[in-house]
Homo-oligomer: A and B are copies of this chain.
Amino acid sequence: MNVNGIATRTIAPLPDCSGVIIIDQTRLPFRYELRTLRGLSDVAEAISTMRVRGAPLTGATAAYGVALAMNEGVDLDLACATLVATRPTAVNLAWALTRMKSALAPLPAGERRAAAWLEAAAICAEDVEVNRAIGRHGAALIGVAAKNKAGPVNVLTHCNAGWLATVDWGTALAPVYAAFDAGIPLHVWVDETRPRNQGASLTAWELKQHGVPHTIVADNAGGHLMQHGRVDLCIVGTDRTAANGDVANKIGTYLKALAAHDNGVPFYVALPGSTIDWSLADGRAIPIEERRPEEVTCMTGETTAGEVVTVRVTPAGSPAANPAFDVTPARLVTGLITECGVCAASREGLLSLYPGRG
């Protein structure tokens, strides 16, 4: 998607394969800075400090980390072990590293370097195509909504499942970009998504850069907007999808799904097939990460003098809790938007798109 009017991806290799360029996402939305990673340790640091984040992008970056390790002559197993330890809970990270290992391990040492760069590029290209397909299927839903009303289609989203979380297009925002690029009038309500503010900082930034009309709201506002007919549909992402269509996504997603259900607003979840966990009968068994209380008690922003500072917004000594995800039951989900098409949030629905699984 566009940054400063130029089509941009979150990650790209240098033409001579001596390094990989990323957007330093820890600096957004206050600074737009590219950063060149030149070796395995650079990549490990970038993933663990969340300069790159989002499951698909983390996997793609790790794949390039293996390629850079091959440049440096680092042992393949050691490189993968180093990278997998950077974010132990991210599923795509382990998946990308397993794939790199399978592609490289059978090759003679002298051929691994070139193969690694090709395989990492293939992982990125596949991510883009999967997301583009999600965008195509989801844009059709936005197009239908546009035909049934005057004025722009109002889409509400939560957290950041945009192109910054992937190599390009995003998951939940892929339908928005596809519809916008096709000229369908739309406007996005951006939940700020406390406590980490991915909506206010990342989603708003990427929509603004691409020129998509949007408005940031407190997470508290979505129910009121739906009560007053100001939301036509919701689209969110998911970190893990159970085989029955229950979805685990950023904390607060469940509350928006309840409000959508109460007001007859369609609630869609966009996902690549890789996030479906066929081993889970339902969402109750999905483990919910409890993160640091400082994400609730502190916030980072820019002063009027242009300085980026972190401040504590709570009384000194008041404790805080920080569950990072919640589970939205399939009964509240209107449909799942995947690279294979749109289906009901149910075992039957998923099996209709992914036959032979489960």
- A residues near B (Cβ < 8 Å) are 28-29, 189-190, 192-195, 197, 200-201, 204-205, 207-208, 214-225, 227, 250-252, 254-256, 258-259, 262, 288, 296-304, 309-323, 325-327
Contacts and interface: CB of A to CB of B under 8 A. Distances in A.
A221 B295 CA distance: 13
Number of copies: 2
A311 B200 CA distance: 13
B208 A318 contact: yes
16 contacts: A194-B194, A200-B313, A200-B314, A217-B296, A220-B252, A221-B251, A223-B254, A224-B325, A227-B326, A227-B327, A255-B255, A258-B262, A299-B299, A300-B311, A301-B311, A303-B309
The 4 closest A-B pairs by CB, nearest first: A220-B252, A301-B311, A29-B315, A224-B326
Contact of A314 (B204, B219, B223, B304): B204
Contacts of A217: 296, 320-323
B255 A321 contact: no
Contact of A251 (B224, B252, B323): B224
Contact of A252 (B218, B250, B311, B321): B218
Given A214-B318, A288-B224, A299 B301 contact: yes
A314 B222 contact: no
B225 A254 contact: no
Contacts of A214: 318-319
A193 B316 CA distance: 18
A29 B227 contact: no
Q: Which of A197, A214, A304, A313 has the most CB of B within 10 A?
A: A313
Given A223-B326, A314-B29, A320-B216, A301 B298 contact: yes
A313 B227 CA distance: 27
A220 B204 contact: no
Contacts of A313: 192, 197, 200-201, 299-301
A8 B35 CA distance: 55
B204 A251 contact: no
